[in-house]
Structure 1
Amino acid sequence: MSFEQFSFDARIASGIRSVGFTAPTPIQSDAIPHVLAGRDLLGLAQTGTGKTAAFVLPILQRLIKGALRKQRVLILAPTRELAEQIHATIQDLGRHTRIRSMTIYGGVGKQPQVAGLRRGTEIVVACPGRLLDLMNEGVVDLSQIEVLVLDEADRMCDMGFLPDVRRILAKLPTQRQTLFFSATMPDDIRKLAGDILKNPATVQIGMIAPAKTVSHALYPVEQAAKKRLLLAMLDQTPTGRVLVFTRTKYRARSLAEDLAKKGYRAVALQGNMAQTRRQQAIDGFRTGRYDILVATDIASRGIDVTEVSHVINFDIP
């Protein structure tokens, strides 16, 4: 099976070759035909399945014929990191087209985003909070949106974004294609999907099953002894890059500082950090400047870092 079966425009096919894609993943094989046909889609898939390209490629195919400089596609994502990753995928796969994409999220200045919207863009990848701010200021025009994508909808629910999402949905044209992706289907997400999807095709890939190469261990320990146990484990266990999850921002920061004092190359990632510091932490961990990333679960969502050897839940998730 190859991407040729989808008969993508030559410019998109060239982008596929440029990024080194050779064969579609299961979710791409299952989802792309439905999206190309204009159907609404419910995609039940976790990160790492190739779902981003599963919606980006057919969206590019749709946009390549039609008016440019109009906001025609809206993609909602729960975190800045995920928004940037989606944007990067659009740029990579659409590099031989004239289709433009931009990101909108908080933690950075509004003016560059406002300027980008005024210059014109076909695809807007946004986090709900900042998008609503710009909508209220009259900067964003959603009246001509043809395709809506909700990516990692369950995480948006976890982060309390559903009221914002519903406010955004109320401003969109009712005649549109909606693509809805979620790893899980809690009641709130099931209701939202039922409210906005019209006769959707359903694609389910790799739900719940953990990777076969992952082993798990549980260490019952008193709260006061957690840090000593973590230090002992890091000292005695050969590791590559290590992700440590904490429940609170304060603990992420203090634990990273304590690890750094012990000589470990550790950095914290928390939700209230400035975007530049967040990006420095992520890039440093990705490139190997830091060996340990201590993060709250919410702050870490949407991050794609390979070569992680150990994931440690310092607190019960």
Structure 2
Amino acid sequence: MAWAEKLKLKKGLVRALTEAGFNGPTEIQQKTLSRIAGGQDIIAIGPNGCGKTTTYIMGALSRFTYAADGVTRVLILVPDREAVEAVIERFNQLNTNKSIRLVGLYPAPGTEAQMDDMAEGADIVVATPDRARAIYLKLGLNLNTVELLVIDDADLIVKQGLQLPVNELAASIQKGQHLVFTEVMHDKLDRMISTFMRQPATIEVEEIGEPAFDTIDQLLYHVPNFGTKLNLLRLFMQDEELFTKTIVFVNTRPTAEKLYKTLQNRNNNIVAIFSPWFFEWTGFSSVEDFMADETVRTLIVVNEDVGELPLQDVPFLLHFELPADVETYVTRVKSDAHKPDAETMALTFVTDLELNGVRKIEQATGHKIQVGDLPEDLVIEKERKKLSEEEKEAKTQTEEPERGAAFHEKKAKNSKNYNYSSGEKAKMTKKKKYG
């Protein structure tokens, strides 16, 4: 579909889009550009490569009908310096109004050069949240004139813990339109943007594509935090009949040590480390030795310490953490990497901050990963937060907590709507032949 058939864009912008190789709008552009032109707040959710960046660039450029005046009307927040430079490069590729001045703000030694850059005038500012806040506090960025606030890769901004500067900047913009672009939506992100979004339209597209190859069965368990992951792992490993042999993948040695000590204490020496770094620990130097040992059911593997492993006969591959390299995960779940009659299943534990990694895996494989219901008896760990001085003072003035009060709580949605021991276990009884 050509641009002119669906969207009312300036001829110069359409020409620049065509010259850049964008011959027509993507799905997310068809669904959002008219709403952006209408001034509505938008939450746009889509995978990498679906056209999110080009979408808000078109929306921003369309605001400048005449010569720009050097007053900041558009503020775009992105996660890091590389993203700042990439967005500015795309602007330069599509912008035909040469009076528009763009300025990039990102962490660098000192702020003087960027302050000077802003003093010369900036129509569009592309910045990391922390540096934009720093320049704003030094009176180098006037937010009173901002008409459009864009938060790109919002899930990565949350992952970096930059919610506070985002909220402070958004609160300082008196009137304006807000656009949020992200690969995934989750509770932490919703808490960040809910304070300033005004009746937003949520638009989601999924462009996974055709399956590139077959995979083994996969289940995804979405939990709130590391502590709940640990509780879920303990719960699964208590089922000796089902989880006869399991390889647990983690990203770092400290995490491997924590899991090893926890499972060993709870499960009576049924856990081992792959190529252990302490001689007193139970360990194996090969997957074959682990599979041959009838006394050990769980092998912990650190992703960074290994290459490709022979996993053909292992009943369960459990990713406690997603590997940094998507291809590492993909290689493990390809069905042709396993024996034709093997019944291997991949289980993956993720928190909100790891969901974008899941989306990248789904794009790479062409398969959506089925989400598993959490067991009814799983203990959900509460988030531990640092208290402000005022909160600490208020806390000391309240009643003493009841002795023996539990720190844990059950997840509300798990109230009798799922039973792992009957439901999920029934699905996977075929695994018992590995006992």
Match of 1:33 in 2: 34
Query: For the structure 1 residues 116 and 188, does the alpha-carbon distance in structure 2 shift closer, same or farther, using more than 3 Å as the test?
Result: same
Q: State the alpha-carbon separation in 1 of the partners of residues 27 and 164 from structure 2.
A: 32
- Residues 74 and 147 of structure 2 are in contact (CA less than 8 Å); yes or no, is this contact kept in structure 1? yes
SS in structure 2 of the partner of residue 139 of structure 1: coil
How far 1:190 sits from its partner (Å)?
1.7
Seq. identity, %: 24
SS in structure 1 of the partner of residue 195 of structure 2: helix
Q: For residues 154-193 of structure 1, what are the structure 2 equivalents within 5 Å?
A: 154-173=155-174, 175-193=175-193
| Count of aligned pairs | 241
Match of 1:229 in 2: 306
Q: Does 1:100 align with 2:101?
A: yes
Match of 1:2 in 2: 2
Residue type at the aligned position of 1:107 = A
Query: For the structure 1 residues 220 and 193, does the alpha-carbon distance in structure 2 shift closer, same or farther, using more than 3 Å as the test?
Result: closer
Match of 1:126 in 2: 127
Q: State the alpha-carbon separation in 1 of the partners of residues 10 and 199 from structure 2.
A: 27
Q: State the alpha-carbon separation in 2 of the partners of residues 97 and 144 from structure 1.
A: 21
Query: For the structure 1 residues 189 and 214, does the alpha-carbon distance in structure 2 shift closer, same or farther, using more than 3 Å as the test?
Result: farther
Match of 1:245 in 2: 324
How far 1:82 sits from its partner (Å)?
1.7
Match of 1:153 in 2: 154
Describe the superposition over 1:116-150 as per-residue Cα deviations: whole angstroms up to 9, x where unpaired: 21111211111111112112222111110000001
Task: Give TM-score, length-normalised by structure 1.
Answer: 0.66
Match of 1:91 in 2: 92
Give the gaps of 5 or more residues in structure 1.
234-243, 247-297, 302-308, 311-317
Root mean square deviation, CA, Å:
3.2
Match of 1:277 in 2: none
Match of 1:43 in 2: 44
Give 1 or 2 for the bigger CA radius of gyration. 2
- Residues 46 and 183 of structure 1 are in contact (CA less than 8 Å); yes or no, is this contact kept in structure 2? yes
Describe the superposition over 1:231-270 as per-residue Cα deviations: whole angstroms up to 9, x where unpaired: 889xxxxxxxxxx828xxxxxxxxxxxxxxxxxxxxxxxx
Query: For the structure 1 residues 228 and 69, does the alpha-carbon distance in structure 2 shift closer, same or farther, using more than 3 Å as the test?
Result: closer
Match of 1:195 in 2: 195
Match of 2:211 in 1: 212
Residue type at the aligned position of 1:71 = T
Q: State the alpha-carbon separation in 2 of the partners of residues 211 and 110 from structure 1.
A: 48
SS in structure 2 of the partner of residue 59 of structure 1: helix
Describe the superposition over 1:253-303 as per-residue Cα deviations: whole angstroms up to 9, x where unpaired: xxxxxxxxxxxxxxxxxxxxxxxxxxxxxxxxxxxxxxxxxxxxx9xx9xx
How far 1:74 sits from its partner (Å)?
0.4
Q: State the alpha-carbon separation in 2 of the partners of residues 100 and 113 from structure 1.
A: 14
How far 1:15 sits from its partner (Å)?
1.6
Match of 1:136 in 2: 137
SS in structure 2 of the partner of residue 202 of structure 1: strand
Task: Give TM-score, length-normalised by structure 2.
Answer: 0.50
Residue type at the aligned position of 1:14 = R
Residue type at the aligned position of 2:146 = I
SS in structure 2 of the partner of residue 11 of structure 1: helix
- Residues 74 and 124 of structure 1 are in contact (CA less than 8 Å); yes or no, is this contact kept in structure 2? yes
**Stretch deviating more after TM superposition (196-205 or 108-117):** 108-117
SS in structure 2 of the partner of residue 86 of structure 1: helix
SS in structure 2 of the partner of residue 57 of structure 1: helix
How far 1:180 sits from its partner (Å)?
1.1
- Residues 44 and 204 of structure 2 are in contact (CA less than 8 Å); yes or no, is this contact kept in structure 1? yes
Q: State the alpha-carbon separation in 1 of the partners of residues 116 and 191 from structure 2.
A: 36
Q: State the alpha-carbon separation in 2 of the partners of residues 214 and 142 from structure 1.
A: 50
- Residues 11 and 97 of structure 1 are in contact (CA less than 8 Å); yes or no, is this contact kept in structure 2? no
Give the gaps of 5 or more residues in structure 2.
219-246, 250-272, 276-284, 286-301, 311-322, 326-352, 357-363, 366-435
How far 1:203 sits from its partner (Å)?
1.1
Describe the superposition over 1:140-164 as per-residue Cα deviations: whole angstroms up to 9, x where unpaired: 1111000000112122111111112
Q: State the alpha-carbon separation in 1 of the partners of residues 67 and 25 from structure 2.
A: 26
How far 1:177 sits from its partner (Å)?
0.7
SS in structure 1 of the partner of residue 306 of structure 2: helix
Q: State the alpha-carbon separation in 1 of the partners of residues 136 and 18 from structure 2.
A: 37
- Residues 78 and 128 of structure 2 are in contact (CA less than 8 Å); yes or no, is this contact kept in structure 1? yes
Match of 1:11 in 2: 12
Query: For the structure 1 residues 97 and 212, does the alpha-carbon distance in structure 2 shift closer, same or farther, using more than 3 Å as the test?
Result: farther
- Residues 64 and 99 of structure 1 are in contact (CA less than 8 Å); yes or no, is this contact kept in structure 2? no
